[in-house]
């Protein structure tokens, strides 16, 4: 088992498949990396998916916020750190920081996780499971100090339907629901090309409120509010996710 007070780190190059048209790290590629390091970091401390599976439970991402401080480019050599920040309410917190080869912060992120009972598809309250995950933080550092906030669609706006997506094979993970990274992919694909191709994404904040399961059709609604694009995904009128995206002008 890894030392508890040491952050988990990964070193790698930004590959071509992680990069967009401008040779900049795709937001979804960062989220893929965050998911990967979260899985490995939790496993190294013996509270990863393998340990929880013995209790018929899994980790579920509830919220995530990412701040892209500057473009991370194709070919850059980076280090990604992640650390467990303990328990707050029902959420286990985890932070991430991507740094340049010189140690300069490039991307900061924070996330909130719950443990779900697979059979019941509801919050796990088994003390044998909860006691496996330390309530105290692994490090006193913060990539983003405050936990990821709640995102809401203001009642004063009328969102517009801008697309739909059927959850299919390439979207699902081993929990048989849409993987958390895919929601951001759908959101960015639904926005105008002139926006996503020509403007750097500075920040994203996403809340996951319900599973989107294979075969379901997710309707994507959009509103532009106070300089931010808000995308809401619904299945049969029920909110699945809501995401706030802020681009450079």
Question: Are 54 and 117 part of one and the same domain?
Answer: yes
Question: Are 19 and 88 part of one and the same domain?
Answer: yes
DSSP letter assigned to residue 40: H
| Residue 130 confidence class, pLDDT cut points 50, 70, 90 | confident
Residue 140 located in a structural domain: no
Residue 137 located in a structural domain: no
Residue 112 located in a structural domain: yes
Residue 118 located in a structural domain: yes
Which tens digit of pLDDT belongs to each residue from 136-184? 999 999 999 999 999 999 999 999 999 999 999 999 998 789 999 999 9
Domain that holds residue 219: 160-247
| Mean pLDDT, the chain, integer | 94
E strands of the chain, at which residues?
8-13, 57-68, 77-88, 91-99, 105-117, 122-123, 160-166, 201-208, 217-225, 228-235, 238-247
Question: Are 82 and 15 part of one and the same domain?
Answer: yes
Which tens digit of pLDDT belongs to each residue from 75-95? 999 999 999 999 999 999 999
Report the alpha-carbon distance of residue 169 to residue 99 in Å, rounded. Answer: 33
**H-type alpha helices, the chain:** 27-44, 49-53, 127-130, 180-190, 193-198
pLDDT of residue 132: 85
DSSP per-residue codes, 160-202: EEEEEEE--GGGB-TTSBB-HHHHHHHHHHHS-HHHHHHS-EE
Question: Are 100 and 59 part of one and the same domain?
Answer: yes
Question: Are 59 and 165 part of one and the same domain?
Answer: no
What CATH number is given to the structural domain containing 231? 3.10.129.10
| Residue 99 confidence class, pLDDT cut points 50, 70, 90 | very high
DSSP reduced 3-state for 32: helix
Residue 152 located in a structural domain: no
Question: Are 120 and 187 part of one and the same domain?
Answer: no
| Residue 1 confidence class, pLDDT cut points 50, 70, 90 | low
CB contact at 8 A, 167 and 212: yes
Number of domains in the chain: 2
CB contact at 8 A, 181 and 31: yes
Residue 136 located in a structural domain: no
Question: Are 65 and 177 part of one and the same domain?
Answer: no
CB contact at 8 A, 111 and 34: yes
pLDDT of residue 93: 97
pTM of the model: 0.95
Question: Are 67 and 121 part of one and the same domain?
Answer: yes
Question: Are 167 and 209 part of one and the same domain?
Answer: yes
pLDDT of residue 126: 80
Token pair, residue 69, equals 């401080």
Residue 146 located in a structural domain: no
**H-type alpha helices, 22-140:** 27-44, 49-53, 127-130
pLDDT for 125 beyond 90:
no
């Amino acid at each position: 088992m890894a030392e508890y007070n040491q952050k988990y780190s990964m070193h790698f190059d930004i590959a071509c498949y992680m990069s967009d048209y401008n040779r900049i790290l795709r937001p979804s590629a960062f989220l893929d990396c965050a998911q990967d390091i979260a899985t490995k970091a939790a496993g190294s401390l013996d509270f990863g998916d393998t340990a929880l599976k013995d209790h018929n439970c899994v980790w579920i991402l509830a919220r995530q916020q990412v701040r892209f401080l500057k473009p991370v480019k194709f070919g850059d050599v980076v280090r990604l750190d992640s650390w467990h920040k303990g328990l707050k309410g029902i959420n286990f917190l985890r932070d991430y920081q991507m740094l340049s080869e010189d140690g300069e912060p490039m991307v900061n992120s924070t996330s909130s996780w719950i443990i779900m009972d697979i059979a019941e598809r509801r919050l796990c309250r088994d003390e044998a499971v909860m006691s496996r995950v330390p309530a105290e933080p692994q490090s006193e550092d913060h990539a983003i100090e405050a936990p990821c906030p709640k995102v809401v669609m203001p009642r004063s706006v009328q969102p517009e339907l801008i697309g739909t997506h059927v959850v299919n094979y390439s979207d699902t993970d081993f929990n048989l629901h849409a993987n958390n990274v895919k929601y951001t992919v759908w959101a960015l694909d639904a926005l105008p090309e002139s926006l996503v191709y020509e403007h750097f994404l500075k920040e994203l904040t996403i809340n996951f409120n319900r599973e989107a399961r294979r075969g379901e059709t997710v309707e994507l609604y959009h509103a532009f509010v106070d300089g931010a694009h808000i995308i809401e995904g619904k299945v049969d009128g029920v909110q699945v996710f809501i995401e706030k995206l802020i681009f450079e002008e």
